[in-house]
Structure 1
Amino acid sequence: MPFENGQKKNVFEESIIFETEIDMYTQVLPRFEQILRDVGDDTILKAPILFHELSPRKIIIFEDIVPLGYELLRGRYTNVEEIKQSYIKLAKWHTLSYKVNLEEPGCFDEYHISIFAMPNLDRNLLMWQGTDAFIQQLETMPKMQKYLPFIQSIQGKLFEDTKRTAKEYFDAPKEDAIYVLYCGDFHDKCYI
């Protein structure tokens, strides 16, 4: 938990983000990885947690996975291959969550207090400017120009639509909808 006053402390202080993350990293993601192992897929979806506690101070310490060949991006954008690898992992995450939820309806109900319940999230620039940064990146990639109109059409709406869909799942899920457990902090500074 951040101890210095500022935006991060304001966002995390009144949330249950640490409780949720600890559960995700100790229960949900190991289960997803086991399902992958059972079909011969050795994809790693998370860094291992070395230590966690909620009291007297909320803290999570992850294993440093840089020695395993991962890189924390600083000072540059992701390249095409890195983007592909990131989205392959995210697609597996979504597929596994969809599968588990189909087989065990309601198994993710305890996560109804999601990132969208965090105080001051609506004012977080990352939530509003993420699509802008994505569009800027696409504009530098000639082969991706065909996707620009679609991404531009959701510009300014993505955050609110995602928030609405999360609420819909818990309040009045649609029969024909596809709901997945989303990663609330998937961004271009993630390990690749």
Structure 2
Amino acid sequence: MSSNNDSCNSDELEAPQWLSAQFFTEVLDGYLKEPGLKVHKIKLSPASAKGDHYASVMFRAAVEYTTQKIGKSTISLIIKTMPEQEGHKKQLLDNSHIFKTEIAMYTEILPKFEAILREVGDETTFCVPCIYHSLQPRQVMIFEDLVTKGYVVIRNRSASIEELKSGLEKLAKWHAVSHKLLLDQPELFEKLQYDITTLPNFLEQDFMFTSLPNFIDMLGNVESLKPYQKYFESMRGKLNNRWIDIIREFRENRQQNGYYVLCHGDFHLRNMMFKGLDCMLLDFQMSYVGSMANDIIYAIYMLFGSDKLGEQSNELIYHYFKTFLETLENIGFVGKIPSLIEFRRQLFDKRYNDFFLLTTFLPAIIYMRNGEDVADIVEDTQQMSQLCYQKDLLKELEYILPRMLHLGYFEHL
């Protein structure tokens, strides 16, 4: 299997033995349903670059095959499976819900969303279809390769405003359909009872306890950021629980005025592929029912970047919410129509989500954004502490923290 070792995740450098001609014959038989199908050659390679993802292992397979009807042909497939190498990633993800969640998303939930939009003349497609899935004897999903259809992952640059609007439009339509279905057909979401906080052992990971202290120490060592140290000091011992409460709100403490939707759960740039301004969404392993504010807060820190914050973030959020309301109207929503003012209030009320993302996730996301694999350092306490001193992170904090102060985020913590 050919690859550049420096640009690929280490656990994707060697494909497992079960990715054989016999396996791909089974996959293509079920997908193409062509008599006499025979696989002749398979070329396997890593399907992603360092920093693209963490909660899975992905391979690309170029498969040459023949059938009685069409003769010789080739197809490029993406295989998504669980880690088999012993280590932190396998320990964290073994016995988790993530593949069951994603299979339900691809085979039941998102096709239902798209069908509802088709009924009102909206041809939105959220994702590439899953052509094969299995939980036994191993967890695996297979898709046709979007790269061969002209889609690319944006790397080594920020997304443009137009690209971000395209991605947020998809999310807004997804949120709108799910908002209606949560009232009309709540049983549709019964399989989605999990989220990132329910991953086995996730809440016990070292970084969950060290990230905030590391962040506070960094604030004390960077002269321009010292004034903000006292605010984060006041969060010791309560930040994680406040964040968990926000993520689990729909299941455990539903609010009468809450705007609840099916959240993507990991809505960032590497989980989108673009063909011009057409956007396909990826990776639904962390999808869950929660406040619509959660996906947008996540996008602010993981998707926008410092160059899209400020007035441009306001424009993007407005565009998202306008599309959300338009879609609700198009699909015949008859409940109480959400308002932008109330949505903005809910974004503010969930500011502990901002604080958690800022201190715990953003340093790792920036590290991955720069082409590194966080799996390589997640068990290295010293290296993890240094993530808070990344130049790109400090640049974003120079904007984010004053903005939080001016908006009242640090009052009554």
TM range (shorter): 0.7 to 0.9
1:170 matched residue in structure 2: 251
Report the equivalent of 1:74. Answer: 155
The Cα of 1:35 is off from its aligned counterpart by 0.8
Q: CA deviation at 1:88?
A: 0.8
Change (3 A) 1:87 1:7: farther
Which of the two has greater strand per residue? 2
Residue identity matched to 2:191? E
Cα distance in 2 for partners of 1:115, 1:81 equals 30
Deviation string, structure 1 residues 47-70 (Cα, Å, up to 9, x no partner): 211211001111111221223332
Measured after TM superposition, the shift of residue 163 of structure 1 is 3.5
Q: Which aligned pairs between 1:1-192 and structure 2 lie closer than 5 A?
A: 1-122=82-203, 123=205, 163-190=244-271, 191-192=273-274
* Aligned residue in 2 for 1:142: none
Could you tell me which residue of structure 2 aligns to residue 140 of structure 1? none
SS of the residue corresponding to residue 261 of structure 2 reads coil
SS in 1 for 2:172: helix
Output the aligned Cα RMSD.
Answer: 2.9
Partners of 1:106 and 1:28 lie apart in 2 by 11
- Work out which structure has the larger RCO, using CA pairs closer than 8 Å and 6 or more positions apart in sequence: 1
SS of the equivalent of 1:181 reads strand
Are the counterparts in 2 of residues 32 and 96 from structure 1 also a CA contact under 8 Å? Answer: yes
Counterpart for residue 36 of structure 2: none
- SS of 1:50's partner is strand
Instruction: Give a deviation string over 1:65-85, Cα, whole Å, max 9, x none.
Output: 223332122333222221111
Q: What is residue 229 of structure 2 aligned with on the other side?
A: none
**TM-score (ref. length: structure 1):** 0.74
The structure-2 alpha-carbon separation of the partners of 1:179 and 1:47, relative to structure 1 and needing over 3 Å to count, comes to: same
Q: CA deviation at 1:8?
A: 3.1
Distance change in 2, residues 1:121/1:57 (3 Å) = same
Are residues 47 and 10 of structure 1, via their aligned partners in 2, closer, same or farther at CA, if it must alter by over 3 Å? farther
| CA–CA distance in structure 1, aligned partners of residues 133 and 262 of structure 2 | 22
Question: Structure 1 residue 162: deviation in Å?
Answer: 5.7
Decide whether the 8 Å contact of 1:12 with 1:118 is kept in 2: yes
What secondary structure does 2:259 align onto?
A: coil
Larger Rg: 2
Range 101-110 or range 31-40, more displaced: 101-110
- For 1:175, give the aligned amino acid: Q
> 1:185: Cα distance to partner?
2.5
Unpaired runs of 5+ in structure 2? 1-81, 212-234, 275-413
Residue aligning to 1:145: none
Residue type of the partner of 1:173? R
Checking the alignment, whether the CA contact within 8 Å between 1:109 and 1:170 is kept in structure 2 is no
Q: What TM-score comes out, normalization by structure 2 length? A: 0.36
Say which SS state the counterpart of residue 263 (structure 2) adopts.
Answer: coil
Partner Cα distance (2:201, 2:150) in 1: 35
Within 2, Cα distance between the matches of 1:102 and 1:59?
Answer: 32
Kept after mapping to 1: 8 A contact 2:109/2:188: no
